[in-house]
Amino acid sequence: MAEGEALVHMRISLWLLWFGVFLVLSGLSQVGHFQYHSLPEVVISMMLTGTGRHMKASGWLSYNMNFGSQGHIVHAKTKKLLVPRQLSVFTYTGQGALLKDHLFIMNDCYYDGYVEGDSGSLVALSTCFGGFGGIAQIKDITYEIKPKRFSDSLEHLVYKVNSEKAQSQPLRCGLSEEEIARQLKLQESENSTLTQGTNDAWWTHKWFIELAVVADYNLFLHCNCNISKVWETVFDIIHKVDSIYSPL
């Protein structure tokens, strides 16, 4: 490590419970569904090819999608290192015994992006389970995108999320007051230790998020007791949270 360099590590354990995360994300009700303004629009996504600078950028894909009474050009790029290939998964048996397993994850089918012409837009899409699925935030309006089932013409369903109803839902943190206080105290102690003995030469700041997701029994029931659907939902949460906080 170069002299005068100080590394500031922040470890934030986020216990993202089913209700809390989705309410923050933009609006799910207590049963785990987005609240929509109206029926969905049926949209056909068309991949764009050309010589524009966006098309030339390595790894970027561009699609033309018409929804919300206008056309949108969506640029998206594969998200790297979202989750490790071998992810530790802990489950409990019916008798309460703790089991540990390693789940193989497809980590090359998650995309981050934006909508052309809106610098403040955000797009988080996934193709892991066929078609595009995810969210798009355009000019303070949130849309949910889902592939249309049994369609062979690249049709998708685009829903406009009812953000006003989502904001009226109470938020619930997954951490107890004692755990929040403990983590804040630990963070202050680590920051104090890491900054001792440094000079004013220069600083390099590194930020780490230590993430743990708890899938409770309500989520298991919501996914029709399908464990694969639970993992799909959990990874979708991680993907969207990462997309929201990655600009910070």
Boundaries of every domain in the chain: 36-161
Closest CA to 65 of 88, 43, 39: 43
Q: What is the pLDDT of residue 134?
A: 87
pLDDT digits (tens, 9 = 90+) for 49-96: 764 554 555 678 888 988 888 899 999 888 877 777 777 788 888 888
> pTM, whole model, 2 decimals?
0.64
pLDDT at 126 over 60: yes
107 vs 173: CA distance, rounded Å: 28
Q: What is the pLDDT confidence band of residue 247, given thresholds at 50, 70 and 90?
A: low
Residues 169, 22 contacting (CB under 8 angstroms)? no
Burial grade of 233 (CB within 10 A; 0-12, 13-18, 19 or more): buried
Pull the structure tokens for residue 93: 């048996």
pLDDT at 26 over 60: no
pLDDT at 17 over 50: no
| Average pLDDT for the chain | 71
Q: What is the pLDDT confidence band of residue 114, given thresholds at 50, 70 and 90?
A: very high
Per DSSP, the residues of 79-90 read PPSSS-SEEEEE
